[in-house]
Amino acid sequence: MDFVRLDRADTVVTATRSLSPDSEVERIAIRSAIPSGHKVATQAMAAGDPVRKYAQIIGYASCDILPGDHVHTHNVAFRNTDTDYEFSTDLRAVAPAATQDYFMGYRRENGTVGTRNYLAIVTSVNCSATAARMIADHFTADVLAEYPNVDGVAAFVHGTGCGMADSGDGFEALQRVMWGYAKHPNHAGVLMVGLGCEMNQIDWLLEAYGLKHSETFQTMNIQKVAGLRQTVELGIAKIKAMLPIANQARREQCPASDLMVALQCGGSDAWSGVTANPALGYACDLLTAQGATGVLAETPEIYGAEHLLTRRAVTPAVGERLLGLIKWWEDYTARNNGSMDNNPSPGNKAGGLTTILEKSLGAAAKGGTSPLTGVYKYAEPVRSRGFTFMDSPGYDPASVTGQIAGGCNLVCFTTGRGSAFGSKPAPTIKVATNSEMAKRMSEDMDIDAGEILSKGVSVEQKGREIYEMFLRVASGEVTKSEAQGLGDYEFVPWQIGAVM
Amino acid sequence: MDFVRLDRADTVVTATRSLSPDSEVERIAIRSAIPSGHKVATQAMAAGDPVRKYAQIIGYASCDILPGDHVHTHNVAFRNTDTDYEFSTDLRAVAPAATQDYFMGYRRENGTVGTRNYLAIVTSVNCSATAARMIADHFTADVLAEYPNVDGVAAFVHGTGCGMADSGDGFEALQRVMWGYAKHPNHAGVLMVGLGCEMNQIDWLLEAYGLKHSETFQTMNIQKVAGLRQTVELGIAKIKAMLPIANQARREQCPASDLMVALQCGGSDAWSGVTANPALGYACDLLTAQGATGVLAETPEIYGAEHLLTRRAVTPAVGERLLGLIKWWEDYTARNNGSMDNNPSPGNKAGGLTTILEKSLGAAAKGGTSPLTGVYKYAEPVRSRGFTFMDSPGYDPASVTGQIAGGCNLVCFTTGRGSAFGSKPAPTIKVATNSEMAKRMSEDMDIDAGEILSKGVSVEQKGREIYEMFLRVASGEVTKSEAQGLGDYEFVPWQIGAVM
Ligand SMILES: [Ca+2]
Ligand SMILES: [Ca+2]
Ligand SMILES: [Ca+2]
Ligand SMILES: [Ca+2]
Ligand SMILES: [Ca+2]
CB contact under 8 A, B418 and A300: no
In whole angstroms, what is the distance from residue B394 CA to residue B410 CA?
18
Ligand 4 centroid to B295 CA: how many Å?
A: 14
CB contact under 8 A, A489 and B300: no
CB contact under 8 A, A165 and B338: yes
Find chain B residues with C-beta within 8 A of A495's C-beta.
Answer: 159, 495, 499
Instruction: Quote the pLDDT of residue A337.
Output: 85
pLDDT greater than 60 at residue B82: no
Find residue A265's DSSP bridge partners.
A414
pLDDT in tens, A217-257: 999 999 999 999 999 999 999 999 999 999 999 999 999 99
A163, A223, A489 ranked by CB distance to B129: nearest: A489
The span from the CA of A489 to the CA of A400, in Å, is 12
CA of A161 to the centre of ligand 4 (A): 15
CA-to-CA dists, residue A474 to A261, A425, A431, A432, B461, angstroms = 10, 12, 16, 20, 63
A494·B496 Cβ contact <8 A: no
The shortest C-alpha distance from A124 to chain B (Å) reads: 14
In this predicted structure, the answer to whether residue A82 has a pLDDT above a threshold of 60 is no
Per-residue model confidence as pLDDT tens digits over A248-263: 999 999 999 999 999 9
pLDDT digits (tens, 9 = 90+) for B253-302: 999 999 999 999 999 998 999 999 999 999 999 999 999 999 999 999 99
Residue A174 banded pLDDT, cuts 50, 70, 90: very high
From CA A266, how far away is CA A272, in angstroms rounded? Answer: 9
Regarding an ipTM greater than 0.90, the answer is yes
Q: Within its chain, how far is the Cα of A293 from the centroid?
A: 12
Rounded to whole angstroms, the Cα distance separating B382 from B388 reads: 8
Sign (positive or negative) of CA dihedral B128, B130, B131, B132: positive
Distance from CA of A446 to the nearest CA of B (A): 13
What are the domain boundaries of chain B?
3-77, 118-247, 254-483
Tens digit of each residue's pLDDT (9 = 90 or more) over A314-357: 999 999 999 999 999 999 999 998 888 777 888 888 889 999 88
CB B487 within 8 A of CB B493: no
Q: Tell me, which fold does domain B3-77 have in CATH?
A: 2.30.130
The alpha-carbon gap from B176 to the nearest alpha carbon of chain A, in Å, equals 17
Residue B494 to residue A499, Cβ atoms within 8 A = yes
Confidence of residue A81 (pLDDT cuts 50, 70, 90): low
pLDDT at B342 over 80: no
The answer on pLDDT for B131 being more than 60 is yes
The CA distance from A389 to the nearest CA of chain B, in Å, is 16
Give the nearest chain A residue to B161 (CA atoms): A395
Q: Which residues of A touch B160 (CB under 8 A)?
A: 159
C-alpha A399 to ligand 1 mean position (Å): 9
> Is residue B83 scored above 80 in pLDDT?
no
Summarised one tens digit per residue, pLDDT across range B292-337 is 999 999 999 999 899 999 999 999 999 999 999 999 999 999 999 8
Amino acid residing at A142: D
Say whether B499 and A398 touch across the interface (CB within 8 A).
yes
Q: What is the pLDDT of residues A444-494, one digit of tens each?
A: 999 999 999 999 999 999 999 999 999 999 999 999 999 999 999 999 999
CA distances for B122 relative to A372, B39, B200, B206, B367, angstroms: 42, 48, 12, 13, 30
Task: Tell how far the Cα of A353 is from the centroid of ligand 1, in angstroms.
Answer: 15
Q: Sign of the CA dihedral A399, A401, A407, A413? A: positive
Mutate to test the interface with B, among A123, A124, A127 (most CBs of B within 10 A): A127
* Amino acid, res. A478: V
Cβ–Cβ pairs < 8 A, chains A and B: 208
Q: Note whether B495 contacts A420, CB cutoff 8 Å.
A: no
**Which distant-in-sequence residues (6+ apart) come within 8 Å of B196 by Cβ?**
A267, A417, A418, B221, B222, B223, B224
Question: Per-residue pLDDT averaged across B113-139, rounded?
Answer: 98
Q: Answer whether A228 sits within 8 Å of B397, measured CB to CB.
A: no
Cβ contact B127–A396 (<8 Å) = yes
Which of chain A's residues have a Cβ under 8 Å away from the Cβ of B267? 195-197, 223
pLDDT score for B345: 81
Answer yes or no: is pLDDT of B121 > 80.
Answer: yes
- How far apart CA A73 and CA B356 sit, in angstroms, is 57
- pLDDT, residue A79, reads 77
| DSSP-derived 3-state class of residue A372 | strand
Helix axes B202-209, B169-182, angle to 10 degrees: 80
What pLDDT is attached to residue A351? 86
Write out the CATH class of domain A118-247: alpha beta
Residue A344: which residues within 8 A CB-CB, separation 6 or more? A353, A354, A355, A356, A358, A359
3-state secondary structure of B34: strand
- Write out chain B residues lying below 8 Å of A497, CB-based: 336-338
User: Which chain A residues are within 8 Å of B163, Cβ to Cβ?
Assistant: 393-396, 398
Per-state percent for chain B, helix, strand, coil, to nearest 5: 35, 20, 45
Pairing of strands A152-156, A118-123: parallel
Name the percent of chain A lying above pLDDT 70.
99
The sign of the torsion formed by the CA atoms of A99, A112, A172, B173 equals negative
Predicted pLDDT of residue B356: 86
Sheet strands (E) in A116-198: 118-123, 152-156, 187-194
CB B299 within 8 A of CB B391: yes
